Structure 1
Amino acid sequence: MSFFPGRDPEPGDACAVDSIETLIIPRTSDIGGLEVRRALPTAKRRLVGPFIFFDRMGPALLRAGEAIDVKPHPHIGLSTVTYLFDGRIRHRDSLGTEMVIEPGDVNLMTAGHGIVHSERSPEEMRGNPQSISGLQTWLALPDALEEMTPVFANTAAADLPTIRDRDFEARIIIGALHGAGSPVTQYSETLYADIRIAPGGRFLIPAIAEERAIYILDGAVQISGEIFPADRLLAFRQGDEIVVSAAQNTSGGAHIMLFGGAALSSKRYIWWNFVSSSKERIEQAKEEWRTGRFDIVPGDEKEFVPLPQG
C-alpha cells in the first residue's frame, strides 16, 4: 500500500550469473500485523522500465477487529497498479470511483496532475479474520503524460489472458508475452506478468523489453545454475534471453512476477506519494496537499494522511 512507511531495500551479494545486473533484498516492515516488503526504489536501482515502486503485501491474516485503513492520500505523475492474490480492498478516489478490488483483478489508477484515494477493508468483512496478500506497484508516467487528466480503470481477472504449458501458467497483467496481450492500458511500453512454474519446470523470458526483472514470491528459482530464494528481486541485462527454472528442492514449484518495459527518457524524482521529472513540481504538490487544494474522496471525506514532515 502506498502509505506504508517501509524501509529502503538493500542490494544483495554479488551474483555469479552474468545476465543478472542487480540483486535486491527487500526490507521488511511490520505495519499493524501486516508484513510489507519494499523492493523498489533503492539507491542502487531506481526503476525497471516504468516501475518505480514495488511493494509486496503479506501474506498475512488480520485478526477479528483488525483492518486495512489507508486514509485518503494524494498522488501525481504515476499510475498505481494494485494486484491481489488473496483478500479484498475497497478503493475510493477523488474521481468518485468506489469499488472492491477482488483477487486477480487489475486496478490501474492514473494520477496525472493529481488524484486522491483511500484503500480500506470492506465494511462487510470487518469483525472477522481477513487474509490479505498482494502487490502494489507504481508506474512513472512518460514526460508528455505526467500532467494528464486522472483516470481509473479496473480489469477483471477473467479478462486477462493466461498462457499454459506443462511447465508453467502465466497471466499477462500488462503488455504482451509469448503471443498473448493484456487489454490493460499502457502509457509507455510496459511488461507485467504473474507466472507460476511447475516443479521441475522452466520458463523462458524473451528479450522483448528493454529492462526486465523478476520478483520471487514463493519457492526458489534456478538461473544458469545459481539458486535464488523467495523475496529477491533480480534485474536482468538487456538483450539476454533468461531461462528461469523452479529449483529442484522446491516441491511446490515457484511463483514469480515478471516486470519491466522501456526505460524512461528522463530522470524521475520520488518523494512520499509524488513522482515527477521536476523537483519543483513535487514541491508544488506538497504545498497543494498541505493547503487542501487537492480534491476530496466522496464517501471518505472525514480523514486524510497529513503531509510528512521533513
Structure 2
Amino acid sequence: MVHQLIDARQASLGNGFAVRRILPYRLRRMLGPFIFMDHAGPVSFTPDQASNMDVLPHPHIGLSTVSYLFDGQVTHRDSLGVQQIIKPGEVNWMTAGKGIAHSERFEDPATLVGGSLEMIQTWVALPEANEEQAPTFENYASAELPIFTDKGVWLRLIAGDVFGLRNDVKTHSPLFYAHVVLQPGARFGLPQGYSERGVYVAKGSIEVSGQTYGIGQLLIFTPGNDPVLVARETCTLMLLGGEPLGERFIWWNFVSSRPERIEQAKADWLAGRIALPPNDNTEFVPLPSDKSRPAGTPPPQPLS
C-alpha cells in the first residue's frame, strides 16, 4: 500500500539553522499540488542566536506558502505591508501570485529565553490561471480550523476537505492538509476522493501493513488503496495530498509552469522590481548564483 517512502534530508537555511527537507525529492517532486515541505525544529536558541536564525526578506512567485506551528512564535512581514505573528495551531497562508517578498523573524520573548520552536512549512503550486494573480495574505486563527476527535484520535483541518470537515481557508485547487495526533494503539485511515495522498510522521511512529515508520518519513500511498495507520506510540502526523497540477519548474523560491517566467523573476529580484516589506526593508536575501548552467538557459528539470 505504501507506493513510495521519502526520508527527510537535512538542509540548512544558513547560520546553523538546519531543517528536515521532505519535498521536493529526486524521485518524487510533488504530492498533489504540494511542491515543497520543510520541518523545522524542535529547536531552542538564546537571544544572541535568534537574529542569526531569522529568514530575511526574500521573493516568491507562482505558489502559496503555508506556515503551521507546533510550538513557538514567528513574525511574518511582507510586501503588502502585513505584519502578522503566527502562533501554534494557526495558519499563515500567503499566495505569491505574480510576486511578493516576505520575512520570518523569531522575536517571541518566551522563545528567546529558552522556549522552543517547531514548525512545518509547505508550498502549494498554483494552477496556471492563478500564477499571475495579485498577491494575498491571510492568517487563520485556531478557532477557524475545525477539530475532529474520536477514541485516541485528534485532528485539526488546516485546509481542504477531509472526512466531511471544511473551513474557510482559501485554496486554488483540490487538496487536503490536516494535523493529526494519535494515541498508542489508535487506528486511522486516509481521506478518500483524492488522486494523491500522503502522511508525514512528525513525531512518534506508526505501523502500516506490518511495517513501522518513524520521524521524518513521508509515506505516499498507492491510488485507490485505503491503508490503516496504527499508532505504535503517541504520534503527530501531517496528512496531505490532492490533485496534480501538471508540469512545474522550480528554482530557489520561484515556481512556474513556464521556465521563462522563472528567468523573469530572477531578473525582477535583481532589479528591485519585487518590493521589500515596507516595515522590514533594510536587508534581504540576494539572488543565489547558479553556476550549474549557463546564464539564460532554462531552470533544472520540471516538477510533475
TM (norm. structure 1) is 0.89
Q: Which residue is equivalent to 1:92?
A: 77
CA distance, structure 1, for counterparts of residue 185 and residue 44 of structure 2: 30
1:221 counterpart = 2:206: yes
CA distance, structure 2, for counterparts of residue 127 and residue 90 of structure 1: 13
CA distance, structure 2, for counterparts of residue 114 and residue 43 of structure 1: 26
1:48 counterpart = 2:31: yes
1:301 counterpart = 2:281: yes
Q: Which residue is equivalent to 1:73?
A: 58
Q: Which residue is equivalent to 1:28?
A: 10
1:198 counterpart = 2:198: no
Amino acid of the structure 2 residue aligned with 1:47:
M
Amino acid of the structure 1 residue aligned with 2:168:
P
1:61-82, Cα deviation, whole Å (9 max, x unpaired): 1123221311110000000000
2:141 aligned residue (137, 156, 180): 156
Q: Which residue is equivalent to 1:286?
A: 266
Q: CA RMSD in A?
A: 1.4
Amino acid of the structure 2 residue aligned with 1:26:
A
TM (norm. structure 2) is 0.91
Q: Which residue is equivalent to 1:59?
A: 42
Q: CA deviation at 1:182?
A: 2.2
Amino acid of the structure 1 residue aligned with 2:99:
G
Q: CA deviation at 1:124?
A: 4.7
Q: CA deviation at 1:204?
A: 1.2
SS of the residue 2:48 aligns to? coil
Q: 1:66-215 to 2 correspondence within 5 Å?
A: 66-67=49-50, 68-122=53-107, 124=109, 128-215=113-200
Q: CA deviation at 1:123?
A: 6.5
User: Residues 70 and 88 of structure 2 are in contact (CA less than 8 Å); yes or no, is this contact kept in structure 1?
Assistant: yes
Tell me, which stretches of 5 or more residues in structure 1 are unaligned?
Answer: 1-18
Identity, % of aligned positions: 46
Amino acid of the structure 1 residue aligned with 2:237:
I
SS of the residue 1:45 aligns to? coil
Q: Which residue is equivalent to 2:240?
A: 259
CA distance, structure 2, for counterparts of residue 163 and residue 177 of structure 1: 10
Amino acid of the structure 2 residue aligned with 1:64:
P
